[in-house]
Structure 1
Amino acid sequence: MGFDDALNKAKGAAADHQDEANQAVDGAAQKGRDAAPDQLDGGVDKGADAAKGQIDGFGK
């Protein structure tokens, strides 16, 4: 299996399980907010929103 095959498989899994993937991103973002100084919370949220946008795009 090449890199492209693995990437397409991961995209397919994310598309098939968008809710679970988005919940995982939310959980990771919460851990990031907890671990980072408060002034970085906006950046963590921005990154989480971008990741969820990509996940949502896999289903289209």
Structure 2
Amino acid sequence: MAGIDDLAKQAGDFIEQNKDKIQEVLKSEQAEDISDKLLDGIGEAVKKIAPDEHDGMIDDVKGNIDKAVGNE
């Protein structure tokens, strides 16, 4: 398992060293467009299989995720 631990450490180090760049990408217009399309698709798919009374909760979750990714 040492190999997995090494990979996890390397990934953590990479994220720490590049956190500003990663944050910039996550807040970009391109990330906004991709996340909107992805979230809309997932939201509609879940609404089709979940009972209608959960639609508001699904929209709330989608909105919270959308706030975290992209620039809108």
Is the TM-score greater than 0.5? yes
Which aligned runs of 4 or more in structure 1 are off by greater than 4 angstroms?
8-11
Q: Please provide the CA RMSD for this pair.
A: 2.6
State the match for 1:17 in structure 2.
31
State the match for 2:57 in structure 1.
43
Larger RCO, structure (CA 8 Å, separation 6 or more) = 1
Higher radius of gyration, 1 or 2: 2
Give 5+ residue unaligned stretches, structure 2. Answer: 1-9
Identity across aligned pairs (percent)?
A: 20
Give 5+ residue unaligned stretches, structure 1. Answer: none
Q: Between Structure 1 and Structure 2, how many residues are aligned?
A: 56
TM-score, normalised with respect to structure 2: 0.59
